[in-house]
Structure 1
Amino acid sequence: MATEALIERILATGDEPSTSVIDTLHELVNDATIDASTAPKGVAEAAGLVGLSTHTLRYYEQQGLVRPARNASGYREYTAFDLRRLVFLTRMRLSGMTMHDLKRYIALIEQGASTIPERRRIMLDQRDRIKRQIRELTLALETTEYKLRAYDGHPEG
């Protein structure tokens, strides 16, 4: 699902007190557009579904972040698993996670359950970075709002 559509859907659920954003995100990542019975997608269709360019999709492959199978004709086929991983990668990149951290995280996933404590640490660190970004953006928004209020009164500056 494209980032804009994801954000709109999450913001729409923000008014519903019984629905958490995390539950909504989980539903979106696992919704009917990316369920286990979803037929494999080609490069262009997969890129469109998750809101990436085909160039970015191929870059993620080159970096070892996603490894789609190939069909009998040699074309890449992205399974529901691959698509869900791409959604995750997209959200983490949007939040500022570095490629180095993403590669480390995916390598840990592929090593199995014994790496869960380290994966959790990576996610805790990422959560801290995101919270800091939110605080910084909130300050930037407040500064912008201040300037807009000042311009409504037309003072200099």
Structure 2
Amino acid sequence: MSTDTTGIGIREVSESTGISIDALRWYEKEGLIPDVERGPDGRRRYQPRIVRWVRTVQALRRTGMPVAEVREFVHAGPEIADGSDRRIVLLERQAAAIDAQLAQLQQDRAVIAAKLESYRLIIEAGLDCEDPASDQLADEVFTRHFPAIAVQPPVVP
């Protein structure tokens, strides 16, 4: 147990990160937050470098990295051969996954924006969403926003 009273307590870490106290304790128990010191009173004292770890773990978890991979990232330290290289690989893979998520979210946001626009035009025209004329307005909006995937009417022979 350290006699160091510097650092901040678990409540302050919780408040600054939005991670519950119970989750912080669980992260520590699971080995996701290493080297949390204790003050003379037995309470956790988080040094700045540990708070950075907490924020890193939080970002990795929030962006979908599985707990097992976060644990691997945390424990791939300098005492493990090529630990830094492994951390870089894990971070690069997570960054690529985030980029893919962002691209998908941008596409989904564009679809929702087009749907909102079509609903507003339908309401402005005094139509009901179930009115066949509303389909034509919705098709026009989607064709304008997504010309490459515009729905073509069937060809009548």
Flag the 1:99–1:110 CA change in 2: closer, same or farther, 3 A: farther
Partner of 1:30: none
Partner of 2:141: none
Q: Does 1:139 align with 2:107?
A: yes
Q: Does 1:122 align with 2:90?
A: yes
Partner of 2:75: 107
Pairing 1:1-157 to 2, within 5 Å after superposition: 39-66=6-33, 67-109=35-77, 111=79, 114-154=82-122, 155=134
What TM-score does the superposition give when structure 1 sets the normalisation length?
0.69
Equivalent position SS for 2:77: helix
In structure 2, C-alpha distance between the alignment counterparts of 1:109 and 1:144, rounded to whole Å: 44
In the alignment, structure 2 segments of 5+ residues that lack a partner are 1-5, 123-133, 139-157
In structure 1, C-alpha distance between the alignment counterparts of 2:80 and 2:8, rounded to whole Å: 26
Question: Which structure has the bigger radius of gyration?
Answer: 2
- Which structure is richer in relative contact order (CA contacts within 8 A, separation 6 or more)? 1
In the alignment, structure 1 segments of 5+ residues that lack a partner are 1-38
8 Å contact kept, 2:9–2:44: yes
In structure 2, C-alpha distance between the alignment counterparts of 1:139 and 1:60, rounded to whole Å: 34
Equivalent position SS for 2:82: helix
Equivalent position SS for 2:24: helix
Equivalent position SS for 1:111: coil
Q: How far is the alpha carbon of 1:112 from its aligned partner?
A: 5.3
